[in-house]
Structure 1
Amino acid sequence: MRNAFLLGVHVAKNIVICCDGTGNEFGDHNLNVVKLYGTLIVDGRQQVAYYHPGVGTMGAPTASNRISKAWSIVMGLAFGAGLLANVGDAYRYLMDVFEDGDRVFLFGFSRGAYTVRALAGVLHMFGLLCPGNDGLIPYITQMYARKTRQAAGMKHTFDVVEEFKKTFGRHCPLHFVGVWDTVSSVGWIWDPLKLPYTGQNPDMLIGRHAVSIDERRCYFRNNLWGPPLEKQDIKQVWFAGVHSDIGGSYAYSESGLSPITLEWMLFEARSFGLLVDAQKAEAALGAVNPPPPVPPDPRQKIHNSLMFWWWQLEFLPHSYYDHVAKKPRWRIPLGARRFIP
């Protein structure tokens, strides 16, 4: 590999893209996305990596003062504003570093999981632009959303997208997509986006999804993948715990459940070529000098996320997917438990 690099021959590498959950970023109580990122071997040749904080985390780049920044964060949390911009940022990174033969790994938690699934949808619809075409990224992300919002079922839209992909797009297969508890709504209050190919994506080779059994909040309904397509390897595994027991964020002293899903995800991803530093992985899983963090412990308590004002939202009408009738319906949630197929 070293000789090939010195001769200027492209050696296929791993490209790892990590997107965090809503309102999350690096800090004292890091999520599994950050912990996984911290275990990676990043040498610029065999593997490169990218991390993006969550929707509603840092405010819009155009925010000129603290008030406008705070407002942009609220809009991100409540309505999912900024999701397409986050997709565009990750797409831009991939556009700049991808070369034929590279293996793409996508990881995300919560709405970060929805973000990487939306990124995968954009790649399937439009392909990957060649480096330097930054000006086209807002066009394709808006077209991607518009396809569902305004133009679903219109043949003209499909023709335009297909022609765009043939003209500008490169094929970018998705080697591994690993997500923790993808949620069905982008925004906590209103969700205007139902994005294409987030449920099934023909370009995804391997998919791993850690899903919460015990989450009951109506704005954190699970968003499963559909049945695997031909030659796809997909596992969706249900784990004990609420949303943040699965993806992390609780204090280290009471976070023994989230390392279980991290350990599972690391094992699965490493089995398919993710380059992980063994010592860093042991540290992230609490195997070296605990605490913190604590090691995986199935005896740890399951948290109660349905508290305080979250209960008030349970008395408002909320749309959900009826798995028996196979169509969307409305109901008063009242903390209903998740449906496990």
Structure 2
Amino acid sequence: MFCRRELVSLAITLWTYFKPGVVSPLWGWLAKIADQAVAWYLDEHVMQGYTFLMQNYRDGDKICIFGFSRGAYTARALAGMLYKVGLLGRDNPEQVPFAYKVYKRSDENGAVLAAGFKRTFAQDVKVEFLGVFDTVASVGVLVKKNLPFTAANSAVKMFRHALSLDERRAKFQPNLYHRPSPNPAKDPQHASQVVAHASYFKRLGREMMAEGADIKKRLSFKRSPRTSSLSSDHSDMGKDEAPADAGLSEDAELDVTDVKEVWFSGCHADVGGGCVTDSVSLSLAQITLHWMLREVVASQCGIIFDNEALQRLDFNYNQFTVAQPQLQPQPQPIEANQDPLDAEMPLHDQLTIKAAGWGAPMWWVLELMPLEFSNQDGRGVWHTYWSIHLGRGRKIPDIGPKFHVSVGDRMKNLKYRPNAQWVSGTEQYVK
């Protein structure tokens, strides 16, 4: 989505598996299943979003990206690609596949190549707002895929993440914003922020200066790169590989992302939406949607909303923003009273026959298999282990996790206890 001074809003659509009319509905269904299993279309989805931005971005636009589940991961990957290789100028579709290959590389030569590519062909852009709903750690149920700069990205100014307290499926572990870690080598995505990058960047700069003409050959460009630094993540980087962020924006080290991750009652699709039809007026998904809308408005990132759509959602825009006389009259202030009602709506647990039907036994196959898990504790230390999951709740690593106030309402009124595991009594309730 763009925010322009001309008050133009554009949305990114990423989810076509095959072009309509190219294949039969059966093949379309099989493609969707394959994408769920092995993230078959992940690369294509990221490049589609990148191409949309490339064709539509103008100087002064504000980039805002949103997504749910694997779409949330795609949104984070798109932001990562913008950070690492920059945004190509308009009408360069033939260069997008190459730019994506450069983005995916995590070796030292790839880092140098990305720096030169960005400096020579692309422009440095920021993501004003990245809003995601329950990003899952396994993009592809059977085969994992990890992309660079999805877990932490200093090009993102504001990161907002709504997370599920009740999801229990083994392959739906949350993909939290990664924090600095004393043992980053054990990070399954090798994406933890590392504190001391400066010495590496200085060494790389000296090596590049010493190599002289060889740099031009390595980059295949006519300009020599300059030394630079940042603080960001190293997704998909092996233990012996150089940071994939070498040679990127000189000022990025000073950029700190405003991060807020809040936990909500409900399972995966209760948080991201999709469990109930649009005709249902009350649902847990309404709470997360209202919360994200409030965060967008409070950020003043420039998004202009459709007033009629907000009114259908019973959302009071004026309650969270300064007056803007050029806009149409806004909905009446009835939104504030709806969250407690939504908070009492039922969960949709895909491990139960009631919610998933005969799909539940298929998910239970994975619950009974030994699987490898990795998580970061409250001190940032990574732990990796094998376990039979057996439908256990998620582990919340944060010390003092942020729970939405609606969780407290549900606990009080329904004697509800979330499936997630955390140090009880340390939670903080936020709006």
Q: TM-score by structure 1 length? A: 0.77
Q: What is residue 195 of structure 2 aligned with on the other side?
A: none
SS at match of 2:10: strand
SS at match of 1:48: coil
TM superposition shift of 1:143: 3.1
Q: Which amino acid aligns with 2:109?
A: H
The unaligned stretches of length 5 or more in structure 1 are 1-13, 17-42, 289-294
State whether residues 85 and 102 of structure 2, in contact with CA within 8 Å, keep that contact through their aligned partners in structure 1. Answer: no
Q: Higher mean Cα deviation, 306-315 or 223-232?
A: 223-232
Q: Which amino acid aligns with 2:6?
A: R
State whether residues 318 and 331 of structure 1, in contact with CA within 8 Å, keep that contact through their aligned partners in structure 2. Answer: yes
Does residue 99 of structure 2 align to residue 99 of structure 1?
no
Q: What is residue 321 of structure 1 aligned with on the other side?
A: 374
User: In 2 relative to 1, CA 139–285 (structure 1 residues): closer, same or farther, beyond 3 Å?
Assistant: farther
Q: What is residue 196 of structure 1 aligned with on the other side?
A: 148
Matches within 5 A, 1:94-243: 94-145=53-104, 147=105, 152=106, 154-191=107-144, 193-227=145-179, 230-243=255-268
Q: Which amino acid aligns with 1:96?
A: Q
Counterpart Cα distance in 1 of 2:303 and 2:66:
12
State whether residues 45 and 74 of structure 2, in contact with CA within 8 Å, keep that contact through their aligned partners in structure 1. Answer: yes
User: In 2 relative to 1, CA 96–53 (structure 1 residues): closer, same or farther, beyond 3 Å?
Assistant: closer
TM superposition shift of 1:302: 2.1
User: In 2 relative to 1, CA 93–219 (structure 1 residues): closer, same or farther, beyond 3 Å?
Assistant: same
User: In 2 relative to 1, CA 70–260 (structure 1 residues): closer, same or farther, beyond 3 Å?
Assistant: closer
Does residue 307 of structure 2 align to residue 251 of structure 1?
no
TM superposition shift of 1:329: 3.0
State whether residues 168 and 392 of structure 2, in contact with CA within 8 Å, keep that contact through their aligned partners in structure 1. Answer: yes
| Bigger radius of gyration | 2
Q: Which amino acid aligns with 1:143?
A: V
TM superposition shift of 1:101: 1.8
Consecutive aligned runs of 4 or more in structure 1 exceeding 6 Å deviation: none
State whether residues 207 and 234 of structure 1, in contact with CA within 8 Å, keep that contact through their aligned partners in structure 2. Answer: yes
SS at match of 1:204: coil
Does residue 343 of structure 2 align to residue 298 of structure 1?
yes
TM superposition shift of 1:179: 0.6
User: In 2 relative to 1, CA 255–60 (structure 1 residues): closer, same or farther, beyond 3 Å?
Assistant: farther
Q: Percent identity?
A: 33
SS at match of 2:289: helix
- Number of corresponding residues: 289
State whether residues 59 and 73 of structure 1, in contact with CA within 8 Å, keep that contact through their aligned partners in structure 2. Answer: no
Counterpart Cα distance in 2 of 1:136 and 1:52:
21
TM superposition shift of 1:197: 0.6
Task: Specify which of 307, 311, 330 is matched with residue 386 of structure 2.
Answer: 330
State whether residues 12 and 52 of structure 2, in contact with CA within 8 Å, keep that contact through their aligned partners in structure 1. Answer: no
Q: TM-score by structure 2 length? A: 0.62
SS at match of 1:164: helix
Q: Deviations over 1:228-284 (max 9, x none)?
A: 975321110000110011011122448511000100101111222321133321212
State whether residues 270 and 276 of structure 1, in contact with CA within 8 Å, keep that contact through their aligned partners in structure 2. Answer: no
Counterpart Cα distance in 1 of 2:269 and 2:314:
16
State whether residues 245 and 302 of structure 1, in contact with CA within 8 Å, keep that contact through their aligned partners in structure 2. Answer: yes
User: In 2 relative to 1, CA 216–254 (structure 1 residues): closer, same or farther, beyond 3 Å?
Assistant: farther
Counterpart Cα distance in 2 of 1:62 and 1:84:
22
Q: Which amino acid aligns with 2:388?
A: I
Query: CA-atom RMSD, angstroms?
Result: 2.6
Matches within 5 A, 1:67-82: 67-82=26-41
Q: Which amino acid aligns with 1:46?
A: L
TM superposition shift of 1:331: 1.9
Task: Specify which of 309, 314, 318 is matched with residue 280 of structure 1.
Answer: 309
Counterpart Cα distance in 2 of 1:66 and 1:203:
39
SS at match of 2:72: helix
Counterpart Cα distance in 1 of 2:83 and 2:369:
36
TM superposition shift of 1:97: 1.3
Does residue 36 of structure 2 align to residue 47 of structure 1?
no
The unaligned stretches of length 5 or more in structure 2 are 181-230, 232-254, 317-330, 332-337, 353-359, 399-431
SS at match of 2:384: strand
Q: Which amino acid aligns with 2:370?
A: P
SS at match of 1:235: strand
Counterpart Cα distance in 2 of 1:329 and 1:126:
34
Q: Deviations over 1:63-94 (max 9, x none)?
A: 54445433322211211111111111111111
Q: Which amino acid aligns with 2:2?
A: I
Counterpart Cα distance in 1 of 2:85 and 2:134:
26
State whether residues 92 and 134 of structure 1, in contact with CA within 8 Å, keep that contact through their aligned partners in structure 2. Answer: yes
State whether residues 168 and 394 of structure 2, in contact with CA within 8 Å, keep that contact through their aligned partners in structure 1. Answer: yes
TM superposition shift of 1:323: 2.6
SS at match of 1:207: strand
Q: Which amino acid aligns with 1:208?
A: R
Counterpart Cα distance in 2 of 1:326 and 1:139:
33
